[in-house]
Structures are given as C-alpha cells and as structure tokens.
Amino acid sequence: MEGCSKRRRKPRILTPKQFSRLIVAVNREPCRTMVILALCTGVRCSELVALKWSDFDCKTSVYIRRAIVAGRLDDVKTEYSEGPAAGSSISGGDFRVEAEN
C-alpha cells in the first residue's frame, strides 16, 4: 500500500545518561533544539520538519498539525497524531543537561 509504513523494529528508548550525551553532542542550532523537541515529545521526523512558529503555544503546548512526506506537505499520519504532542507541556518546565567529563 503506497504511503503506508509499518514499524520494522522496536523503538529504542534512551537512558537519561544517553539522552544527556546526545544533547551535549549535538551542539549546532537548530539541530539541537529539534533533537530535544523530538526526544521529549516523540514526534515523527516528518512532523518535526513541518512545524511552524504558529504551532507553538509558549504557555502550554506544541501542536502537531502537518507532516512532510516525500517532499510533500500532508496531514498527520493518524487522527491521534493531530493535536498537542505528548509530553509537550512547556510551562514551568526546567530542562537541564549535564555534560559528562
């Protein structure tokens, strides 16, 4: 079926130490911000690259409204994908990354 994808392997879940190492290793913007957003919310790469400033509500959430697939702007993959990204509440949060010596 065209345009359909099926997960071929189990997602890899990073430990807090691996998470910190990755964030420290990615030190170029906007890549660093994109990696942090993807890791914290679980958005798909296609949804991440389709984000616009209007999708961010700095007081509450990041809204997933579209995706870029095969170079084409499209709707999100499933009806459950549309809306605030999981774990995207950004009010009152405190994000720290500790570099390992």
Residue of higher predicted confidence among 2 and 71:
71
8 A C-beta contact, residue 42 and residue 77: no
8 A C-beta contact, residue 47 and residue 64:
yes
pLDDT of residue 45: 87
Quick one: pLDDT at residue 94? Answer: 42
Between CA 53 and CA 89, with CA 81 as vertex, the angle to 5 degrees is: 55
pLDDT, tens digit (0-9, with 9 covering 90-100), for 66-98 = 888 888 887 776 554 555 665 544 443 444 444
Does a cis peptide bond (omega within 30 degrees of 0) precede residue 30? yes
Contacts with 32 (C-beta within 8 Å, 6 or more apart), sequence order: 23, 26
Q: Where are the domains of the chain?
A: 16-84
Distant-in-sequence, close-in-space partners of 82: CB < 8 Å, separation ≥ 6: 64, 65, 75, 76
Look at residue 5 in the predicted model and tell me its pLDDT.
Answer: 60
Question: What are 9-44's pLDDT values in tens digits?
Answer: 787 888 999 999 999 999 999 999 999 988 888 888
User: Is 39 in contact with 22 (CB distance < 8 Å)?
Assistant: yes
